[in-house]
Chain A
Amino acid sequence: GAGVSQSPSNKVTEKGKDVELRCDPISGHTALYWYRQSLGQGLEFLIYFQGNSAPDKSGLPSDRFSAERTGGSVSTLTIQRTQQEDSAVYLCASSVVTGETQYFGPGTRLTVL
């Protein structure tokens, strides 16, 4: 079937605006993960979902970041009042269950001007 999809592919926004990033996991995958990839920090874990609940939010950098997942499927990552340091590639992954192999989407490149 189809892989993990993410939208938009690229997003350019102005500092202070809110953005929403979307992730569509592989059908049937119950676990979903968000990571951030930036030049200075490498790949960082942000949050994961098992079903619709998020047992581990430890990686969210600040309270401007939030995420939700509905219907055990699509997830949105919201960044409020974006800052230039939020510029990065945001990667989403899914797995059949937590702990199993994670399959990644193509990412969303966020640029905050």
Chain B
Amino acid sequence: AQTVTQSQPEMSVQEAETVTLSCTYDTSENNYYLFWYKQPPSRQMILVIRQEAYKQQNATENRFSVNFQKAAKSFSLKISDSQLGDTAMYFCAFGGSNYKLTFGKGTLLTVNP
């Protein structure tokens, strides 16, 4: 069974600064996807970024980028130029051959003005 670990329950950052959220996972599979989802107080789970395990290049979406280290089973999210609207719970998720997503416990990120 896969496990996903987010070791930072809470983090805070000043507006316009950069912050990195950590995620590690454990799996015996070779082909899989990794995701970061954002859940603001509205409860809607929003996809932030996706990484295919077979790709060596790290995924980037505007201010969001990942550092994917397959051998180390590490998948961190970097948010550049943090904005107040980035305040949310962030979940790291693993998607493997059984199609369901396995989520970490989440990191509550607060962006301070």
Please list the residues of chain A having a beta carbon within 8 angstroms of any beta carbon in chain B: 31, 33, 35, 42-43, 45, 48, 56, 59, 89, 91, 93, 98-99, 101-107, 109
The answer to whether residues A56 and B43 also contact, given A43-B91, A101-B35, A101-B50 and a CB cut-off of 8 A, is no
Which range holds the interface residue count of chain B?
20 to 34
Contact of B101 among A89, A102, A106 (CB under 8 A): A102
Bound-complex Cα distance A48 to B100 (A): 8
Give 5 closest A-B pairs by Cβ, nearest first. Answer: A104-B45, A43-B103, A45-B100, A98-B99, A106-B44
How many pairs of residues, A versus B, come closer than 8 Å at their CB atoms?
Answer: 49
Contact of A45 among B47, B101, B105 (CB under 8 A): B101
The answer to whether residues A101 and B100 also contact, given A42-B106, A43-B91, A106-B42 and a CB cut-off of 8 A, is no
Asked if A99 and B45 sit within 8 Å, CB to CB, the answer is no
Please give me the residue from chain A that is nearest to B106 by CB atom: A42
The answer to whether residues A101 and B105 also contact, given A33-B100, A45-B100, A48-B100 and a CB cut-off of 8 A, is no
Contact of B98 with A by CB under 8 A: yes
Contacts of A59 in B (CB 8 A): 100
Q: A103-B47, A106-B44, A109-B43 are in contact. List 12 more A-B contacts (CB 8 A).
A: A33-B99, A42-B104, A42-B105, A43-B91, A56-B99, A56-B100, A93-B45, A99-B97, A101-B50, A102-B95, A106-B43, A107-B44
Please give me the residue from chain A that is nearest to B105 by CB atom: A42
Bound-complex Cα distance A101 to B37 (A): 11
Nearest CB of A to B12, in Å: 21
